[in-house]
């Protein structure tokens, strides 16, 4: 078998050259075997597969199915659909039952179930609806795309237990916010595999229910189910969002002890977890020790250094990235954030220009927001307003305007602050930040009547500010806190300690900003 000689793309290309030399270039069977490895193997290359396919003079059904399946699992699922219609219109080969499942997967990947529905109708006309592979792929397409009524109908038609259809329903329900229904279905399963557990854990993480994701992982361990790299990536994401460093470290150690391969996705997740849990030193160690680094890994460490104010270190890493790979828009957002958090205005302007002129990357609203925030922090409010009003090719959103308004509050510039606040209120009258920030700006400059008036306007328009929320991990337990909240079981002790810390700050010479006393208008 030709394909058994290949273990990577280098071997594949050498084998292809051998096929051509030996006069087998027109042997459809030989080329189909090479194509199969190239299109469907994890070590393959879908672009090279397409090149091979284009040189096959008379593709057979196996060849068509192979290239369609390859694209349906790639980052270009739309190509699978295009090839299918090309086969229908320009080839004597008719689709077989194995042609359809990858097509429904492609429609699912593209969130185009409405366009996949006519293909479903074709299946019904051909009498193939009872085929288990087709049936499961239809459930997957409808469930992932949020057509839950269609998915449930197909699921209920399948009287025999099929773990693939159950997994598709669990994943689809969770992805569309029906995480409790997803869990009820999970609990009803007569049997589960790793995909079942992964689907439920990732569903919890995707819906912000991180503690439940970690609890389910412990149940997975008790059930003696081997976790996969996908499981670890979801759990690391949960730890990152919770700031649960100890649990994140435990998961990292678990991966090493159980020889779970650290692929590029996991490498990025580990770096991100350590950075966002405050251990940038550990993140750097993991990054430097990695034998292979993808662009996402470089971007993650640059962004991690950025949020910790390590501007110089981020610039050094970015320079190394430029020598290894081509940075993308995420890379530049990371380095601009690093300059922002370190107050490097000149450096940020250099990288902003480099992104546009050298790398031909069009800035997004996030890049402009970063530059506006940096200029605002530096007190260059006129320059920031100029950038928004005259340099941006896109309309500003509430976030970027709110950033400038916050800077106006901090620097006491009421004139620009009022203009910006009016823009925010025009964009979104229900957005509380404009009222609160302008009110604070008035208070900071002694215009208390105007400050109270802004808060009164909020009440009249029924605009409410959502309370701040944070979490911290202590001895492996994650504690959540809400601004002015009293629901924590040790709330009284916490507030007593805060009062003591306030007294200690005063004794150390800290002067309280008296203008901020009127900023809590909730009781007015």
Helix, strand and coil content of the chain, in percent to the nearest 5, comes to 70, 0, 25
pLDDT value of residue 354: 96
Calculate the CA dihedral of residues 289, 265, 47, 27 and round it to 10 degrees. 90
Strand-pairing partners, residue 480, are: 471
Q: Which ranges of the chain have pLDDT less than 70?
A: 1-30, 42-44, 158-160, 428-431, 433-435, 444, 454, 457-458, 460-469, 471, 473-478, 483-485, 511-524
pLDDT value of residue 163: 92
Residues 6+ apart with CB under 8 A from 113: 107, 141, 142, 144, 145, 146, 147, 150
Decide: pTM greater than 0.85: no
The two three-digit tokens of residue 67, written as one number: 């290239």
- Give per-residue pLDDT as tens, 293-342: 999 999 999 999 999 999 999 999 999 999 999 999 999 999 999 999 99
pLDDT value of residue 160: 64
Residues 6+ apart with CB under 8 A from 133: 97, 98, 101
Closest CA to 42 of 8, 16, 2, 1: 8
pLDDT value of residue 516: 46
pLDDT value of residue 523: 41
Q: What is the DSSP string of 428-488?
A: -TT-HHHHHHHHHHHHHTT-HHHHHHHHHHHHHTT--PPPPEEEEEETTEEEEEETT---S
């Amino acid at each position: 078998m030709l394909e058994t000689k290949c273990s990577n793309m280098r071997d594949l290309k050498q084998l292809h050259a051998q096929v051509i030399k030996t006069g087998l270039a027109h042997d459809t069977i030989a080329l189909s075997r090479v194509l199969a490895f190239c299109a469907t193997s994890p070590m393959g290359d879908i672009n090279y597969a397409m090149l091979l396919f284009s040189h096959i003079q008379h593709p057979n059904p196996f060849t068509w199915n192979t290239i369609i399946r390859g694209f349906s699992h790639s980052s270009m699922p739309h190509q699978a659909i295009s090839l299918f219609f090309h086969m229908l219109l320009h080839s004597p080969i008719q689709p077989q039952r194995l042609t359809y499942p990858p097509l429904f997967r492609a429609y699912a990947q593209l969130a185009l179930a409405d366009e996949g529905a006519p293909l479903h109708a074709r299946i019904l006309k051909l009498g193939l609806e009872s085929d288990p592979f087709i049936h499961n792929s239809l459930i997957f397409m409808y469930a992932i795309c949020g057509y839950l009524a269609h998915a449930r109908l197909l699921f209920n038609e399948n009287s025999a237990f099929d773990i693939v259809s159950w997994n598709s329903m669990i994943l689809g329900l969770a992805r569309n916010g029906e995480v409790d229904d997803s869990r009820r279905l999970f609990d009803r399963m007569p049997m589960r595999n790793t995909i079942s557990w992964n689907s439920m854990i990732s569903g919890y993480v995707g819906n912000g229910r991180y503690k439940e994701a970690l609890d389910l992982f412990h149940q997975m361990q008790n059930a003696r189910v081997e976790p996969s790299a996908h499981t670890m990536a979801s759990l690391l994401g949960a730890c990152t969002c919770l700031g649960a460093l100890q649990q994140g470290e435990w998961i990292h150690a678990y991966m090493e002890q159980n020889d779970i391969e650290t692929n590029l996705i996991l490498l990025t997740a580990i770096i991100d977890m350590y950075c966002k849990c405050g251990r940038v030193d550990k993140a750097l160690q993991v990054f430097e020790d990695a034998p292979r680094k993808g662009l996402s890994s470089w971007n993650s460490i640059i962004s991690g250094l950025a949020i910790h104010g390590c501007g110089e270190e981020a610039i050094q890493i970015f320079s190394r990235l430029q020598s290894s790979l081509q940075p993308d828009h995420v890379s530049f957002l990371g380095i601009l954030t690093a300059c922002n958090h370190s107050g490097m205005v000149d450096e940020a302007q250099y990288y902003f220009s480099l992104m546009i002129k050298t790398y031909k990357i069009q800035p997004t609203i996030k890049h402009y927001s970063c530059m506006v925030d940096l200029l605002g922090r530096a007190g260059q409010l006129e320059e920031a307003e100029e950038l928004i009003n005259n340099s941006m090719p896109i309309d500003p959103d509430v976030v970027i305007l709110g950033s400038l308004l916050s800077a106006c509050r901090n620097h006491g510039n009421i004139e620009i602050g009022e203009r910006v606040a009016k823009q925010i209120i025009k964009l979104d009258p229900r957005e509380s930040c404009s009222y609160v920030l302008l009110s604070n700006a008035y208070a900071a400059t002694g215009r208390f009547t105007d400050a109270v008036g802004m808060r009164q306007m909020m009440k009249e328009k029924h605009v409410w500010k959502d309370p701040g929320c944070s979490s911290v991990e202590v001895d492996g337990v994650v504690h959540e806190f809400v601004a002015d909240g009293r629901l924590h079981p040790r709330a009284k002790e916490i507030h007593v300690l805060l009062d003591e810390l306030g007294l200690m700050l005063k004794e150390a010479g800290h002067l309280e900003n008296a203008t901020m006393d009127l900023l809590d208008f909730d009781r007015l």
